[in-house]
Chain A
Amino acid sequence: MMKRRQFLKASTRAGLIAGTTTLLGPWASLLANPSPLSYDLVAIKNSTPDKMFDAGMKALGGMQSFVKKGQTVVIKPNVAWDVGPDLAANTNPLLVQRIIQHCLEAGARKVYVFDHTCNKWRSSYENSGIKAAVKHAGGIMAPGNSEKYFHPVRINGQSLKNTKEHELILESDVFINVPVLKNHGSTSITVSMKNLMGAVWDRGHWHKNDLHQCIADFASYRKPDLNVVDAYNVMMQNGPRGVSTQDVVNMKAQLISTDMVTADAAAAKLYGIPPDDVSYIRLAAQAGAGRKDLKNLNIKRIKL
């Protein structure tokens, strides 16, 4: 059943697309086919989050490879906790800001940022520094605090059959996943796939029904168009919330990939554990959600 909001949006969009297509004529088909990427994974080191992202994008042919003119983009960083950026429990605001700027430069119509936070959403948005960064860059900070934003989707995974996904992910043209690499009490580390727990409404269901399998199931269902792993500051213990800055190591790294499994496998190695030790990475790779065999992948390594 189509929701009122979706109907309004869909009809507006249909009109816009029809209009644009007519204007562009034969060239319109070019927009539909992004060129294949030159690398499976881009790993960058030794600079600030924004500069590392600039370098990574350059290697991948710029944001235009992912975002076309007039498209809507949704960015899903990790803003789970009501803590300051120094604890590295949330994605680095500078990185989020730079990604939005790249999207807008590539011609994005609107860039939304949201998370279904664990702590109070309003204070998490503010204290993480993400809200200010989004505002500064010209993005739109959208709420994820109410069930009304989440609509039922069929997953058909082993453990996860159904869930409710945020409408911005369902409706936006481009979905960029921007997790932060950090320690996690029960899943060892949290990166791209685990970050998508903030894209759905009922996380408790995942926790209750084989967490690792649910994460892998959802990873098979929904693949972001781009994953940018923030490993600038990495929380190495007491995760995922952290208790002090002593938990944090300044790793100055970043990973960019269209494949969540690849990004997470590489992140595990950065963190210092074998990817196979993280059950959901193993399960997702087995299910064919992505590739964890880093040896056989085309990796671009950039040291700044």
Chain B
Amino acid sequence: MRRNGFSFFSGQILLKQIYLKSLRVWVSLLVLTCTSFVFLDLLGKLPSIFVDCILYFQGIPSLLRFIHSAGWASAGFIFVLLITVLFGRTYCSFMCPLGTLQDILIRIRKPLGMHKKRLVFSYQRPQNILRYGVLFLTVASCLTGSLLLLSLFDPFSQFGRIVSDMIRPLVVGVNNVLADIVEWDGFYFLYPLEYKAPHPSTLILPVAVFALLLYLTANKGRFFCNSLCPLGALLGLLSYRSLLTIAIDRDVCTSCGRCVMLCKAGCIDLREKQVDFSRCVSCFNCIRSCPEAAIQFRPSVLSEKKKVPRFQQERRIILTSLLFLFSFGSKNVYATPTKPRKPQVKNERPTTVINEKHFPVIPPGGKSLSHFFSSCTACHLCVSICPTGVLQPSLVEYGIDGILKPRLNTLKGFCNFECTRCGEVCPTGAIQPLSVAEKKQTQMGKTQFIKKNCVVETDKKDCGACAEHCPTKAVRMVPFEGKLKIPELDNKYCIGCGACEHICPVLPHKAIFVDGLATQGTAEPPKSKPITIVPMEDFPF
């Protein structure tokens, strides 16, 4: 019977299976390249439809988007679950950019001199407590309203932070050096790009993760994916009974061990001639390597009866919690985040009035702190592509829960009135897409004017930089002490873009600043009085 099963998948079909690896390599490289382009689209040239298509199948972002607004636009993760049920964890080797990044690290470890001899993988025992522990804690913390663990462990967000925080400065640097070279005689072909460096502490996590990946890939292959990745663990649970699995034909296998040496997941147990398909990342290296074609991708019904998994118990708990998540998620069960801690705005010189801010400013379309906190996994895509660099990863401004989530840092820039880019690209729906008209009325914060800091008051000299930059004229100049003009605020027009604060020339405490809102509001559109002046017929001089 078993032999019959194998003959079903032999011959032509089997021959073609050796191309599965090539298929995997090309698809994964394409996905990785496109995803990197999305993150490094510093000129904003990619159409948002392309961005949407590329990010559609990213597991966690798509799931989060689905939870908030179920629909086809956010159903990419269903596809991911479906192919996992059918073919196992193909997502991990085909579509996960962090997975492909690790494959590249594995591939290039030799030139890096990390191993003198050819690296040989061997069977690894499953780290069930670790992998399901991470999954369980992540899901549990999500249910209690904190995306902190998900933000830290989600592979897409980790990849995003590596590209945005580590690769982007390199790209900008190379561009600027090239720009410097080509423009020496007024040939402006490449323009210098601006890079607004984030707070150094925000780089610790991506750098540490990258270092960890370098170490793990050089020693244990895809250990991260099988022990620390919650999505990997989840997909592993689903792939237990996937329609197609990888299995070894005991009668044909000569135990040469070539497949084991190439198995990055360390999931081929040659002694038992078993493949732990829950840890298999479907790289198909083994199929390609087997000289006897003994290891194959074939319908699971045809393979031997599996051993009963030892961790049935854990599985049940996990699946129940996931069901819970699905059934209540759409109603936003995440508790409203605990009252954000007062941001710690540091001041160097307490000579003038301190700007007392209560909330950080969330990006336009972030809706509210609760919505934003229940969707954003800090992938830093918005940070990466923000044209003005005003979006910066936060440190503890949002509290521990909001660590690395983007906020408007008006020291670095201000939100461009016409720009809606962050909402267009946000893969999780944390920043909702807005039309330009909607964006122009989305109130992210309210402004406060501190007369005692203002140069017009202190020096009795004109300035007006804030009113100049205000796109809605929420700040306007009014007569003050004779011929001077001083800013006057009308917060009903204010959208909290931070232009006034950014440009205010006084230091260290600004004379005008934006305080974020817990829930974004709607500003009134700016008004213009009709003009009665008729241009003169003659010259007035």
Contacts and interface: CB of A to CB of B under 8 A. Distances in A.
Given A208-B506, A240-B468, A241-B470, 9 more contacts: A9-B186, A110-B186, A122-B191, A123-B416, A123-B419, A237-B528, A243-B471, A243-B526, A247-B528
B535 A249 contact: yes
Contacts of A247: 528, 531
Contacts of A207: 455, 463-465, 503, 505
A45 B539 contact: yes
B464 A249 contact: no
Contact of B505 (A142, A204, A299): A204
Given A208-B455, A270-B540, A238 B528 contact: yes
A146 interface: yes
A50 B289 CA distance: 73
Contact of A43 (B463, B473, B535, B539): B539
A185 B539 contact: no
A251 interface: yes
Interface in A260-275: 265-266, 269-270, 272
B188 A211 contact: no
Interface string A205-241: 1011111110000000000000000000000111011
Nearest to B43: A122
B418 interface: yes
Contacts of A251: 535
B188 A237 contact: no
Contacts of A250: 535
Nearest to A269: B540
A163 interface: no
Interface string B425-468: 00000000000000000000000000000010001011111011
A137 interface: no
3 cross-chain pairs, A with B, having the tightest CB-CB distances, nearest first: A186-B464, A246-B528, A243-B526
Interface stretch (A17-25, A27-35, A98-106, A112-120): A112-120
A236 B387 contact: no
B529 interface: yes
A110 B244 CA distance: 67
Interface in B448-501: 455, 459, 461-465, 467-473, 476-477, 483, 485
A285 interface: no
A45 to B, nearest CB: 7
Given A82-B416, A241-B469, A241-B470, A142 B531 contact: no
A247 B471 CA distance: 13
A210 B188 contact: no
Contacts of A212: 461-462
B503 A204 contact: yes
Contacts of B503: 118, 204, 207
Contacts of B505: 204-205, 207-208
In which size bucket is the chain B interface?
Answer: 35 or more
A185 B186 contact: no
Contacts of A140: 186, 188
Contacts of A148: 180, 192
A15 to B, nearest CB: 12
A69 interface: no
B528 A120 contact: no
B462 A211 contact: yes
Interface residues of A, number: 63
Interface in A95-145: 110, 112, 118-120, 122-123, 127, 140-143, 145
Interface in A176-210: 184-187, 203-205, 207-210
A292 B435 CA distance: 48
B141 interface: no
A304 B3 CA distance: 97
B194 A146 contact: yes
A252 B468 contact: no
Given A120-B416, A185-B468, A12 B186 contact: no
Interface of B: 43, 180, 184-186, 188, 191-192, 194, 387-388, 416-419, 455, 459, 461-465, 467-473, 476-477, 483, 485, 503, 505-506, 526-531, 533, 535-536, 539-541
30 contacts: A8-B185, A12-B185, A82-B416, A82-B418, A83-B418, A110-B186, A119-B416, A122-B43, A122-B387, A123-B416, A123-B418, A140-B186, A140-B188, A145-B191, A145-B194, A148-B180, A148-B192, A185-B476, A207-B463, A207-B465, A207-B505, A212-B462, A237-B529, A238-B526, A246-B529, A251-B535, A266-B541, A269-B540, A270-B536, A272-B533
A137 B280 CA distance: 61
A141 B531 contact: no
A265 B461 CA distance: 22
A142 B183 CA distance: 10
Contact of B418 (A5, A127, A249): A127
A141 B191 CA distance: 11
B188 A142 contact: yes
Contacts of B485: 185-186
A265 B541 CA distance: 9
A186 B467 contact: yes
A236 B533 contact: yes
A249 B192 CA distance: 37
Contact of B184 (A5, A141, A187): A5
Nearest to B465: A207
Given A212-B462, A249-B535, A252-B535, A185 B467 contact: yes
Contact of A141 (B188, B419, B471, B533): B188
A205 B455 CA distance: 11
Contact of A246 (B43, B462, B471, B530): B530
A146 B192 contact: yes
B64 to A, nearest CB: 30
A47 interface: no
A118 B468 CA distance: 9
Contacts of B194: 145-146
B464 A211 contact: yes
A209 B507 CA distance: 13
Given A185-B485, A249-B535, A252-B535, A118 B469 contact: yes
B462 A279 contact: yes
Contacts of B471: 241, 243
B393 to A, nearest CB: 21
A246 B468 contact: no
Nearest to B476: A185
B473 A123 contact: no
B372 to A, nearest CB: 24
A161 interface: no
A154 interface: no
